Structure 1
Amino acid sequence: MKKGNGILCGDPEVKYAFIRDHRERFPISVMCDILGVSRSGFHDWMKRVPSPRAIERSKIQAAIRRIFEGSRRNYGSPRIHKELVKQGFNCSETRVERLMREMGIRAKTKRKFRVTTDSNHKLPVSPNVINRDFKPSGPDRLWLSDITYIATDEGWLYLATVMDAYSRKIVGWSIEARMTQNLVLEALEMAVKQRRPGPGLIHHSDRGSQYAAKAYQRRLWRYRMIPSMSRKGNCWDNSPMESFFHTLKTEHVYFEVFRIRKEAKSSIFEYIEVYYNRQRSHSSLGFVSPQCYEQQLFIKCG
């Protein structure tokens, strides 16, 4: 209630609706005083038969709240608008933005994300064979790989991931306390076990020593994959992978405090496998999840 006037600013009907929904928890007179509306105005509003537009507005607001909470408070007006259209609502993105503002809903504030890659080694480097063409004609034809860092109170964790460029789905990943060759090998093995790709798949990564190492390159050769590496210091050569790390950090990691590494591992698993791959809509995929985008090859997603 202390924050009520700041959150429910603007439209009196929004305030009246709040008072109606919370009248069994707080006294009506107290809520009216805090929100700056009269008790007589509230009671008159309660007696009025809602107009069709008011009913529609209420339904849209309820859907906005449901979609916003379902997105873990990550979606802004463009994504929420897309979800509303999918659900059959006829409203503009401008109206959704205005309603969200009136409801006090806004996506999480994103912090600046810094990318670092250590390519200071003398190992052989593969040529960049994709040249920023991240749109393969089907799944399991181009995989992207990279490593990022996650802080916990116990120390750093290192996350290695493998993404299918076709659907932006994370098909393999590994998270450990040390950044070793085994870290990236486990992520690759998970991807191969889950997807079983045919020969000729392009595997693209940065120039990090873990990917340039003989053990990793031999594994690519065993699976008949074509190695490809970004140019030195050029994050745009692996931009979909960098974009995923940015999303992971700014939507999830930066809003969590991990006391122990085990807690962080469990949280990252849930984010990748439950939310990102299967629920989060992706703008480059027509605002559907990676899992749904792949299923559209065979069936229509709801």
Structure 2
Amino acid sequence: MLAEKTNFTITRMVRLQEVSRSGYYAWVGRPPSPASLRRVHIEQKVAFFHGDSDEVYGAPRILADLRADGEIISRKTVAVTMKRLGLVGICPKKWKTTTIIDHADAYPVDAVKREWDTGSLNQVWVGDITYLRTWEGWVYLATVIDAHSRRVIGWAIADHMRTDLIQDALTMAMVLRGDRPATVIFHSDRGTQGGFNRSSQHLDYGGGIWDVRRVGWPRNS
């Protein structure tokens, strides 16, 4: 009712709300209750921690932040507060295994052996995928970096993480590096898109040697 004081008279508002004028003025003069003050306090903190995480954190992580900040609060209260404020976190999808993988055959050996810079271009390329928040939603950025120059030589953006996202990034890299050698070690972690995922320093998935001579984009050789 306070927000509508500039649009309607007190007499009309109390009549529409079916309350008395004396009751309205008693409500206006009443100080906020401890419960309402607490709710506003928690709402402000929840909104802050959610925004500070680039709107990624959900109730569990915000709960941890609140408790680390000295608040005594339950996960249910955090979840209810987020729902009331219209805040949602980003929940990574769980990987569902649909085939039995021969691990000895599925992942190449560590061909890079932690020797990233071999002293020349087009010897080691490093792959990476990250996600970005835009006004139209989340998108995925795939990049290919030359380990010697440490420059991005290929990239692609899409709203998915299918294999063609990586193909586009690798294609750009090969077009840019027209003088590439016959083979180049392409290093990435054990990801789901041909071993191409966020961490490019993962030992579990060593650099696979990719043959760039035979087809339009590399294949594992």
TM-score relative to the length of structure 2 = 0.41
Structure with the larger strand share = 2
Q: Which has the larger radius of gyration?
A: 2
Larger RCO of the pair (alpha carbons < 8 Å, separation 6+)? 1
More helix per residue: 1
